[in-house]
Structure 1
Amino acid sequence: MDKLPPSPIVSDIPATNRKLDLAGIATSYINAKGQHEVIHPDIRERLFSAMAASETQVDHSVISPVKVFCYGSEYQLILNQPGEYQWHLQLEDLSLVALPYEQPYHGKTLSTDIAITLPSSLPLGYHQLILNAPTGNWQCKVIITPERCFEPSSLLNGERLWGSCIQLYSLRSETNWGIGDFSDLKHALREIDQRGGAFIGLNPIHALYPANPQSASPYSPSSRNWLNIIYIDVMAVPEFQQNEAAQHWLHNEPIQQRLREARETFLVDYPQVMALKLEGLDLAYQQFKLLDERHERVQAFAYFQQNCAQALQQQAEFDALHAWLAAENKQMWGWPAWPVEYHDAANPAVRLFVQRHPDEVRFYAWLQWLAHTQLGECFALSQRQGMAIGLYRDLAVGVAEGGSDTWCDKTLYRMKATVGAPPDPLGPLGQNWGLPPMDPMILQQRAYQPFIELLRDNMNHCGALRIDHVMSLLRLWWIPYGETADMGGYVTYPVDDLLAILALESQRQKCMVIGEDLGIVPPEIVHKLQQYGVYSYKVLYFEQAGINHFKLPQDYPAQSMATITTHDLPTLRSYWHAGDLELGESLGLYPDKATYNALRLSREENKRALIATLIECGLLTEKPQDMSMMTAELSYAIHQFIALSASLLVGLQPEDWLGIVMPVNVPGTTDQYPNWRRKLSCELQEMFEHPEVNELLKAVHSGREIA
């Protein structure tokens, strides 16, 4: 055997490489084909230059700013510089504030000590260690977390639940204003509950851009901490009902005509809908301003403002300023396009605007209160009905370049990079989502507070939270700004700390967690997600066992949610007819004709394999005569198949009940396709009165009970 060369010692590694490694920029990764792929050194350097690590250094001279422990482990804080320090620990519960003279939450270190061992009696939560010495003072947030995320008792007892995953904007009704709203959501909750369903899953309902309604992607939000006001049901707002001018406006024939047109369109007309809603809500706001300050709604809004504090104020300032600038110039799509004096929330020009337009700012804060109130009513309804989960919300992987989150916090978000995904079979060219990433080093420097607040805001008013691209807790594909998706590299994140905090917030909010773990899933995160009680996401199309065979229902893992498809994939009918592949070819999403032909061939093989599996399970008696057609019988069998899965959760799309072909989103496109606009083909009431839909849902519910 040849003798191996000696391993290089650390000092032999170039300083440049060490700094890139310390910043968490990967040197290579395993691609979708299972092959080792090296990240070009120039790309690594460009990613480093985009990070805050190249601009600031975190002061860890004595102790790190944050330390996360699992409950029951040894709580030991390592000192970077041994010395004589006095320390005391302030518990999160202010009723248990530990003063220096109170045992056991204070102590001293010796000059030779390299660690502080904290009491084993520390409760779950966020505590603050304060370290004092003649040379300075330091603080470290000490976070004690549970082992696993919250799970409803029904799932712990082995019950198999099902629900519907809807795009809220796609719902039709005779009362909405051209887009699904929170009242439509209440209607859907009642219907799903009556048929035995346990939840409705929503697309992200994060804040978008009232002044730029064409930017409609729920996965490119202005802020992930606030709500999209377009989902407010204006007619359910008491002040709109009580205002004579509002009622006169509503029943004016030109307004009625605009409402009819908005309802009847095949695609959501976001500019028309937003204009109508803002007009109606402005009239309602005028009525609200007339209410006595002791009125219960005025007091409720005041409490909301006080509780949300500066974060709400900044969101309202952004929306009000955006509306003011866009009224003069429609090209003001986001803050990078604004005059430079408005580029930062703290700039004097912004503060002057706020001083001169306090009522406009308060109006947008009021709209957030309305949206939270109506969403809260939806969740409360689901709980009164006894739905085990009720609502589950969706947390997008990031925020858009020109929105309020980046406007308020340019240090946390790195504007010289965007995130996406490397090339894979679904996206042979890769994907660039145009979202600036959070800097993991700044996240740690701030003791993870932005992440904590993000979880709290999104676990509000729901029983489950789906985390889009959950691998982002471990790593994100960063792309230097302006480059194509294949010219990127992975940047690592403190996955153990983030998952532990996720478990703590999940338990506190009684909100279970579902992780969307599709695409290139590194093996190191699979076990971690299982360990922390994060439910996996299993899509029928991908759940295959070897060549020409799909996994049997009993082989699905219990700790998962099974679905037929997702918002980024073709509907069942489109999948069967290969309509998605034809659409992708027409949009130029494949690098060459050979790729398209290979995908078509693979699709035909998958269809034959699925038919064979359905026959093996006794859900079909024989192979269909026409394999090219998605029939009602075949759709019924596929829904039965997924209902029988061992997954404790099953989520189904109304598009598949109705046989819709057109997808809601085509990944890799922007204006080439009308993403996030396609409505359902019929109104809610009509859908739930349809005999075939009811027969299908009855079979799904029975399958869940049998499984």
Structure 2
Amino acid sequence: MVAPSPQLHRLASDLGIATSYYDTLGRHLEVSADTLVSVLGAMGIDGSTPEAAEAAIEKRKDDAWLRVLPYVVVMRRSQDRVINVHVPDGHAITVTVVLDGGQVRSTDQVDNWEPPRVIDGVAIGEASFRLPVGLPLGYHRVRAEGDGRSVWAPMIVVPDRLELPERTWGPMAQLYSVRSEASWGIGDLGDLRTLVDWSAERGAGYVLTNPMHAAEPTVPQEASPYLPTSRRFGNPVYLRIEDIPEYATLARAQHARIAQSRREVKDDPRTWERIDRNLVWPAKMTALRVVHEAERTPEREEAYRRYRFEQEEGLVHFARWMALATTYGADWRLWDPPLRDVHSAELDVWAAEHADEVEFQMWLQWLLDEQMDAVQTAATAAGMPIGVMGDLAVGVNEHGAETWANPELYARGVTVGAPPDPYNMNGQNWSQPPMRPDQLARQGYAPFRALVGTLLRHTGGLRVDHVIGLFRLWWIPEGRAATEGTYVYYDHEAMVGVLTLEAHRAGAVIVGEDLGTVEPYVRDYLRDRGVLGTSILWWEKNHEGRPLEPEWYREACLASATTHDLAPTAGYLQMAHVKLRQELGVLTEPVEEVLATEEHEQKLFLDACRDRGLLPGDFRLFTPGQLEARRLRAAQLVGGPAGAASGVPQDAAAGDPPTAAAPAGQSAVDRPAVEPIDQGALQRAVEALYRYLVQSRARLVNVALTDLVGDTRIQNQPGTAWEYPNWCIPLSGPDGEPVLLEDALATTRAEALAAVLRGE
């Protein structure tokens, strides 16, 4: 590895690019010169030689002094903040703050003894001004006046901290997996309304959903809700068509055709065993185009016009991209060059010629906005203090609507991922382009503000996936392994500030997913800003390596027994995750050792429940004989794909218990094997673990919908792509068979666990 030159080292550090870091084993690692040069290149900066790096350092200094005002000023309401302004040396200047309502506030000039800097023969001076404390929260402007001209910069005043929510609980659902008799083979906003109503009646304070960001309008469609084409706008596949007011005005024959289409999709075996977006999307879009032709009342037309006005240019860009993608495919890099430029005259001509399609895409987003508003209104009317809590993914795909509409914002030649950790020693590459921290500042954080503001229009909370991404992201140069990346730091004061300001304006709760490699200061910082963290039962340990006592849980957190990346609790207790990883060949240790470790971990937590009287002293989930049989069965499967080197029938080894064969056409990994078990004992164990969480100090307690219904199937297996049907597993019962929402919620299992969450 070539060591960076001093100049390259300094240039990278100035730009917030880590030149070294500590890995998860505590080792201090240096970043190679090649990686630093590549990451700098993604920011448009040449650091390929010491001379180029030195020239870039000087240019950055010159550019800063040539700017009268900073690109943007972000400050907390009670913060004492001084900013520097630059003018020709000796010239007078005044600085004021212009509030968003037009009021003007003065500033005080303070001493600044920085000598002038000569740029192109002109001496530039620097003056400092103290901004007033206690300004109203919101988006204002700083104005500098001198030499007969005015210069402006955006100013954002953010809350010192958000108020923590009152203690409550709620379910977490992967909405696409939650189908009902009325939906189209995929969960929709009508199903979300059903879940909200059921939860509110049982005392829940919120319902957490997966990200419902927009996917591409083509098939095959990306299944992962965490790899969208746009995070600001939504996915129309979640629309409940029959709830659109114009649907009621259609002719009887049109109703019949749409109803028939829904039945065909819903009853297709391909949409029952798995969530098949590639079948559902075209069918729903065909029906929606029929509804789109129906006449709207003047009141609804006015509401539509108002929505378009509120969403401004961002909605227009997104709708144009969707229309273009429908016509030419979802990778804008393959379009004709004029259509790749969001500001080209040729694009305006194309959009005018395809105005109907562009308008259709805007109409879809308006419907999503309306239906989300209806769900949130119903939630709060039913007494839910939070209501719907959305989810914000880390990033977007590299060829989607956001990178097309704002290409300057995204770094090219790098992708986001994660360095090696105990779960993946090869690191991870998420194939997402990162936002450039310098461009975020140049654009006054307007893209991030618009994103968060839109997501909080009709929700009472927002979960931020990989919240450490507001502080730093792991950038990987294209063509390099994930191990050859480095961290790039963001202005977390600004990022968290905008996030909390938008949450304050919406009266919303923010939860940060702060799991994995997160420095302790990040958790402390987020707590002090009123952003809740995330605590997962199995990972909460005390200094002795034993389960953390509930009294020592963080108060400012959302506590749960599982996440979308882990097995449901019933599946976890039956080692479904180990068996699946074994079948997929992704275990990094012998299966016997993994089973022994997992059995020990589970025993620790079940013992902790016994110690607190949450389980009987003689409670056993498995008998010693069952545990031994499981180990022997696992050992038989070592050495190849499930069942390949053993005398166990292929279908039994690959998925179902030995007494049941997998249905025809079903792959091994669809149904991870689970041991025959006393379902009553399993339910008691699950309830005890949640009672343990209920006794914690956590303000929010979260229960997976899969746990409410006894599901054992894993919805996402990290580290896999085509090997496992991630994000396509339907909500299922304890037997592994898909189940409709209304049937799942009618079970005594769901009622009993809801009672536990209420503290009964």
The normalised TM-score by structure 1 is 0.89
Structure 1 position 605 matched with structure 2 position 611: no
Q: Deviations over 1:178-224 (max 9, x none)?
A: 11111111111110011111110010011111223521211111111
Q: Deviations over 1:64-123 (max 9, x none)?
A: 1112222233232123556434335353333x343xxxx747999999872122334632
Counterparts of 1:213 and 1:311, CA distance in 2: 26
After the TM superposition, which residues 466-485 of structure 1 pair with which residues of structure 2 at under 5 Å, given as runs?
466-485=463-482
Would you say the 8 A contact 2:606–2:689 is kept in 1? no
Residue aligning to 1:670: 721
Residue aligning to 1:151: 164
After the TM superposition, which residues 147-546 of structure 1 pair with which residues of structure 2 at under 5 Å, given as runs?
147-152=160-165, 155=166, 160-212=167-219, 214-244=221-251, 245-252=253-260, 256-261=263-268, 265-288=272-295, 291=296, 295-325=298-328, 332-546=329-543
Residue aligning to 1:116: 129
Q: Secondary structure at the match of 2:488?
A: strand
| Alignment-mate amino acid for residue 515 of structure 1 | G
Structure 1 position 72 matched with structure 2 position 87: no
Q: Deviations over 1:22-57 (max 9, x none)?
A: 111112222222332332232222111112445996
The structural deviation recorded for 1:617 is 1.3
Q: Secondary structure at the match of 2:482?
A: coil
Counterparts of 2:133 and 2:262, CA distance in 1: 66
Moved more, 687-696 or 137-146: 137-146
The structural deviation recorded for 1:674 is 1.1
Q: Secondary structure at the match of 1:562?
A: strand
| Alignment-mate amino acid for residue 634 of structure 1 | A
The structural deviation recorded for 1:519 is 0.7
Could you say if the C-alpha distance between residues 587 and 656 of structure 1 is closer, same or farther in structure 2, counting changes exceeding 3 Å?
same
Q: Secondary structure at the match of 2:268?
A: helix
Residue aligning to 1:15: 7
Aligned-residue RMSD, C-alpha: 2.5
Residue aligning to 1:47: 39
Counterparts of 2:325 and 2:544, CA distance in 1: 54
Counterparts of 1:512 and 1:60, CA distance in 2: 40
Could you say if the C-alpha distance between residues 398 and 562 of structure 1 is closer, same or farther in structure 2, counting changes exceeding 3 Å?
same
Q: Deviations over 1:309-338 (max 9, x none)?
A: 21111111111111112xxxxxx3422343
Would you say the 8 A contact 2:709–2:745 is kept in 1? no
Moved more, 29-38 or 534-543: 29-38
The structural deviation recorded for 1:308 is 1.1
| Alignment-mate amino acid for residue 257 of structure 2 | W
Could you say if the C-alpha distance between residues 459 and 578 of structure 1 is closer, same or farther in structure 2, counting changes exceeding 3 Å?
same
Moved more, 298-307 or 654-663: 654-663
Could you say if the C-alpha distance between residues 597 and 137 of structure 1 is closer, same or farther in structure 2, counting changes exceeding 3 Å?
farther
Would you say the 8 A contact 2:710–2:749 is kept in 1? no
Would you say the 8 A contact 1:658–1:693 is kept in 2? yes
Residue aligning to 2:758: 701
Moved more, 468-477 or 26-35: 26-35
Could you say if the C-alpha distance between residues 447 and 308 of structure 1 is closer, same or farther in structure 2, counting changes exceeding 3 Å?
same
Moved more, 459-468 or 343-352: 343-352
| Alignment-mate amino acid for residue 246 of structure 1 | Q
Structure 1: gaps spanning 5 or more residues: 1-11, 326-331
The structural deviation recorded for 1:548 is 5.4
User: What is the aligned-residue identity percentage?
Assistant: 30
Could you say if the C-alpha distance between residues 18 and 609 of structure 1 is closer, same or farther in structure 2, counting changes exceeding 3 Å?
same
Q: Deviations over 1:589-637 (max 9, x none)?
A: 34x445x555433212211211221111111123416165571221121
| Alignment-mate amino acid for residue 48 of structure 1 | L
| Alignment-mate amino acid for residue 620 of structure 2 | P
Could you say if the C-alpha distance between residues 524 and 683 of structure 1 is closer, same or farther in structure 2, counting changes exceeding 3 Å?
same
Would you say the 8 A contact 1:170–1:268 is kept in 2? yes
Could you say if the C-alpha distance between residues 695 and 144 of structure 1 is closer, same or farther in structure 2, counting changes exceeding 3 Å?
same
Q: Deviations over 1:221-278 (max 9, x none)?
A: 11111011110001111212211152131244x6633342279612111011111110
| Alignment-mate amino acid for residue 398 of structure 1 | G
Q: Secondary structure at the match of 2:172?
A: strand
Would you say the 8 A contact 2:514–2:534 is kept in 1? yes
| Alignment-mate amino acid for residue 161 of structure 2 | R
Would you say the 8 A contact 1:420–1:434 is kept in 2? yes
Q: Deviations over 1:106-145 (max 9, x none)?
A: 9999998721223346322222112233497533322222
Structure 1 position 27 matched with structure 2 position 19: yes
Q: Secondary structure at the match of 2:151?
A: strand
| Alignment-mate amino acid for residue 471 of structure 1 | I
Would you say the 8 A contact 1:564–1:572 is kept in 2? yes
Could you say if the C-alpha distance between residues 600 and 32 of structure 1 is closer, same or farther in structure 2, counting changes exceeding 3 Å?
farther
Could you say if the C-alpha distance between residues 121 and 50 of structure 1 is closer, same or farther in structure 2, counting changes exceeding 3 Å?
closer
Counterparts of 2:289 and 2:173, CA distance in 1: 29
Q: Secondary structure at the match of 2:687?
A: helix
Structure 1 position 37 matched with structure 2 position 29: yes
Q: Deviations over 1:521-547 (max 9, x none)?
A: 112312211110110100012112245
Counterparts of 2:108 and 2:254, CA distance in 1: 62
Residue aligning to 2:120: none
Counterparts of 1:482 and 1:458, CA distance in 2: 34
| Alignment-mate amino acid for residue 273 of structure 1 | V
Counterparts of 1:136 and 1:598, CA distance in 2: 73
Moved more, 694-703 or 85-94: 85-94
Counterparts of 1:120 and 1:286, CA distance in 2: 54
Counterparts of 1:431 and 1:112, CA distance in 2: 47
The structural deviation recorded for 1:430 is 1.7
Counterparts of 2:572 and 2:64, CA distance in 1: 53
Counterparts of 2:519 and 2:190, CA distance in 1: 41
Could you say if the C-alpha distance between residues 255 and 491 of structure 1 is closer, same or farther in structure 2, counting changes exceeding 3 Å?
closer
Would you say the 8 A contact 1:125–1:145 is kept in 2? yes
Counterparts of 1:112 and 1:552, CA distance in 2: 59
- Larger RCO, structures 1/2 (Cα 8 Å, 6+ apart): 1
Residue aligning to 1:7: none
Would you say the 8 A contact 1:562–1:649 is kept in 2? yes
Residue aligning to 2:572: 575
Q: Deviations over 1:476-513 (max 9, x none)?
A: 01111233322211111111222222222221111111
The structural deviation recorded for 1:403 is 0.9
The list of structure 1 runs, each at least 4 consecutive aligned residues, that deviate by more than 4 angstroms after superposition, is 53-60, 80-83, 105-113, 627-630
Residue aligning to 1:616: 611
Would you say the 8 A contact 2:185–2:265 is kept in 1? no
Residue aligning to 1:564: 561
Q: Secondary structure at the match of 1:130?
A: strand
Counterparts of 1:528 and 1:647, CA distance in 2: 17
The normalised TM-score by structure 2 is 0.83
Counterparts of 1:408 and 1:428, CA distance in 2: 36
Could you say if the C-alpha distance between residues 598 and 181 of structure 1 is closer, same or farther in structure 2, counting changes exceeding 3 Å?
same
Could you say if the C-alpha distance between residues 255 and 582 of structure 1 is closer, same or farther in structure 2, counting changes exceeding 3 Å?
closer
Residue aligning to 2:622: 626
Counterparts of 1:369 and 1:356, CA distance in 2: 22
The structural deviation recorded for 1:60 is 4.6
Counterparts of 2:470 and 2:70, CA distance in 1: 20
Structure 1 position 688 matched with structure 2 position 745: yes
| Alignment-mate amino acid for residue 241 of structure 1 | A
